[in-house]
């Protein structure tokens, strides 16, 4: 690590540096031999936050929770009732669905899994899914017959994307996964899983257009 810092002209603060430790907090993440996890102290603060009563409060909560969204499966789908409230010309009504989303995100943070570091000698596995309005993907490895997550990711669909057919939404999730995790997957073996059986025959084609546009996203084997 010190050699890499020297090669990139990165300066370290000696007083803030720790050596010969088994774990430590770095950029609000706890790093240790088993992987990476959330900073429990930060999560405890978020878990004690009251219900937001303003749009500013929602933005603040989603900002804090969203910092750790790589640990939360389907973050965008869960948060959707609250993200709707910050859209233009939407009346502020913190409904029962918003309360449930708020509590679910806090619970997911408290129960956040340990994310493993990538092993470049193992194939990567991708799991993709799409709902009516959101996409959820996860990257991981298969270790001792168990799937171990490396990174969760999700996004809310645009208005146009939400009007896609089911199969196009599922394909959109696949494309999003490969784009999101491109730095992991390039030049490495990867296995993709989807719960949509109709994609199997489509993925057998050499080139797969996802949506009709001048700049089509395509997957080629």
Task: Check which CATH number belongs to the domain holding 50 and give it.
Answer: 3.30.70.270
pLDDT higher for 204 or 26? 26
pLDDT-derived band at 93, boundaries 50, 70, 90: very high
- 106 and 130 belong to one structural domain: no
- 138 and 55 belong to one structural domain: no
Domain boundary among 64, 87, 110: 110
- Say how many domains are in the chain: 2
Residue 22 lies in a domain: no
Residue 6 lies in a domain: no
Q: What is the mean pLDDT of the chain?
A: 88
- 135 and 102 belong to one structural domain: no
What is d(CA 64, CA 131) in angstroms, rounded to the nearest whole number? 25
Nearest to 174 by CA among 188, 197, 193, 189: 193
Mean pLDDT over residues 111-132, rounded?
94
Task: Assess contact for 105 and 152: CB atoms under 8 A.
Answer: no
Domain boundary among 110, 132, 167: 110
In this structure, the strands spanning 124-130 and 190-194 are parallel
DSSP-assigned beta bridge partners for residue 36: 31, 115
59's tokens: 């933005």
| Residue-number span of the structural domain to which 190 is assigned | 124-219
Look at residue 187 in the predicted model and tell me its pLDDT: 87
Look at residue 196 in the predicted model and tell me its pLDDT: 67
pLDDT-derived band at 203, boundaries 50, 70, 90: low
164's tokens: 């896609």
Residue 17 lies in a domain: no
Domain boundary among 49, 81, 110: 110
- 93 and 173 belong to one structural domain: no
Buried b (16+ CB within 10 A) or exposed e, 185-214: beeeeeebebebeebeeeeeeeebebeeee
E strands of the chain, at which residues?
23-26, 29-32, 35-38, 124-130, 134-143, 146-156, 190-194, 208-209, 218-219
Residue 76 lies in a domain: yes
Residue 126 pLDDT > 60, yes or no? yes
Residue 144 lies in a domain: yes
- 145 and 93 belong to one structural domain: no
94's tokens: 């913190």
Does the pTM of the predicted model rise above 0.85?
no
Residue 21 lies in a domain: no
- 92 and 128 belong to one structural domain: no
Residue 85 pLDDT > 50, yes or no? yes
CATH number (domain holding residue 129): 3.10.20.370
Look at residue 115 in the predicted model and tell me its pLDDT: 98
Look at residue 36 in the predicted model and tell me its pLDDT: 97
- pLDDT digits 0-9 by tens, 146-195: 999 999 999 999 999 999 998 899 889 999 999 999 999 998 999 988 77
pLDDT-derived band at 220, boundaries 50, 70, 90: very low
C-alpha dist (Å) from residue 78 to 6, 66, 93, 135, 200? 43, 11, 17, 11, 28
Minimum mean pLDDT range among 60-74, 178-192, 206-220: 206-220
Residue 30 pLDDT > 80, yes or no? yes
- 213 and 129 belong to one structural domain: yes
Residue 19 lies in a domain: no
User: Of all residues in the chain, what percent carry a pLDDT higher than 70?
Assistant: 88
Look at residue 214 in the predicted model and tell me its pLDDT: 39
DSSP-assigned beta bridge partners for residue 37: 30
């Amino acid at each position: 690590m010190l050699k890499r810092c020297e090669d990139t002209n990165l300066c370290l603060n000696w007083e803030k540096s720790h050596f010969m430790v088994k774990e430590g907090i770095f950029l609000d993440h706890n790093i240790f031999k088993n992987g990476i996890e959330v900073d429990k102290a930060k999560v405890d603060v978020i878990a004690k936050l009251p219900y937001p009563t303003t749009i500013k409060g929602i933005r603040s909560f989603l900002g804090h929770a969203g910092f750790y969204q790589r640990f939360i499966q389907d973050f965008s789908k869960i948060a959707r009732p609250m993200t709707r409230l910050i859209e233009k010309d939407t009346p502020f009504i913190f409904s029962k669905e918003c309360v449930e989303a708020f509590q679910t995100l806090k619970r997911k943070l408290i129960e956040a899994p340990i994310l493993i570091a990538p092993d470049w000698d193992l194939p990567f596995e991708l799991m993709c899914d799409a709902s009516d309005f959101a996409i959820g993907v996860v990257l991981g490895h298969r270790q001792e017959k168990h799937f171990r997550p490396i990174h969760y990711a999700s996004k809310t669909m645009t208005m146009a994307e939400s009007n896609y057919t089911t199969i196009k939404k599922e394909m959109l999730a696949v494309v999003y996964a490969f784009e999101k995790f491109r730095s992991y997957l390039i030049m490495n073996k990867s296995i993709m899983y989807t719960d949509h059986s109709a994609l199997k025959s489509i993925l057998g084609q050499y080139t797969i257009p996802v949506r009709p546009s001048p700049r089509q996203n395509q997957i080629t084997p």
